[in-house]
A = this chain, B = another copy of it.
Amino acid sequence: MNSAIILLSGGLDSATVLFLAKAKGFKTYALIFDYGQRHRKEILRAKKLAQLSGSESRVVKISLPWAGSALLDKKMRLPQNRKIIPREIPATYVPARNIIFLSLAASYAEVVGARAIFIGANAIDYSGYPDCRPAFFKAYQKVMHKGMKAGVEGKTIKIFAPLLYKTKEQIIRLGLKLKVPYELTWSCYAGGARPCGKCDSCLLREKGFEQVRKVTKSLGHQ
């Protein structure tokens, strides 16, 4: 059985990817990050999702001694109530976040002998994040090929970003088929006890579910 590392934030996208990798027959290893994010609640949700899906999991703790992002720095303002997310890089961009996350996934993969890394990155809703774009993943693939023992030995670890070109609606439809327990996922950036309903992440999530409900209703399913 092939093994795969899943970058698991505890959000809707990465949870879908976790269950997709399971459905594809991979033995799954969930990699969870504790990097000082405001929305620490997602860590608990990620652990729960890993457990429910029968995955092994590891939490990597990184103390970043700098901020530079509204996701890390509570003094910075989270964008709120934006109907349309502009194509510019948002304040929630964390410098080099996916470069960091993939580097640790690469290490974990090599240690457990996994040949695949799954990431729930999306280039549609979050076109602003440069580390969610196809050209970035292609370049990273080469780094893992050239810079790792596995790569040098011809066992290059592959990055899969199966949600890259899907809308939130399509992601949720896929997840519902896979029976992803979406009630356990956590999307809100704000770090409160309940979702704020205003940050980009809450709004995208809500819009996605609304679209799914609308179409489902028009088909007479509800």
Which residues of chain B are within 8 angstroms of A147 by Cβ–Cβ distance? 96, 98-99, 130-131, 133, 136, 139-140
Q: Give per-residue flags for A101-116: 1 if the beta carbon is below 8 A from chain B beta carbons, else 0.
A: 0111011101110000
Chain A contact residues: helix, strand, loop or mixed: helix
Question: A58 is contacted by which of B65, B93, B139, B146 (Cβ under 8 Å)?
Answer: B65
Complex formed: what's the CA distance from A145 to B139 in Å?
9
A162 at the interface (CB under 8 A from B): no
Which residues of chain B are within 8 angstroms of A108 by Cβ–Cβ distance? 66
Which residues of chain B are within 8 angstroms of A179 by Cβ–Cβ distance? none
A89 at the interface (CB under 8 A from B): yes
B107, A103: Cβ atoms under 8 Å? no
Question: A103 is contacted by which of B103, B130, B149, B152 (Cβ under 8 Å)?
Answer: B103
Q: Which residue of B lies closest to A98 (CB)?
A: B147
A110, B68: Cβ atoms under 8 Å? yes
Question: A62 is contacted by which of B58, B61, B66, B151 (Cβ under 8 Å)?
Answer: B61
Q: Shortest distance in angstroms between A206's beta carbon and chain B's nearest beta carbon? A: 27
Q: Shortest distance in angstroms between A46's beta carbon and chain B's nearest beta carbon? A: 14
Which residues of chain B are within 8 angstroms of A58 by Cβ–Cβ distance? 65-66
Q: Give per-residue flags for A43-68: 1 if the beta carbon is below 8 A from chain B beta carbons, else 0.
A: 00000000000000011111111111
Q: What are 21 A-B residue pairs whose CB atoms fall within 8 Å in the complex?
A: A60-B63, A62-B63, A66-B107, A66-B111, A66-B112, A67-B111, A95-B110, A96-B104, A96-B106, A96-B144, A96-B147, A97-B107, A98-B147, A99-B103, A99-B107, A100-B100, A130-B148, A136-B147, A139-B143, A139-B146, A140-B143
Chain A residues in the interface with B (C-beta under 8 A): 58-68, 89, 93-100, 102-104, 106-108, 110-112, 130-131, 133, 135-136, 138-140, 142-149, 151-152
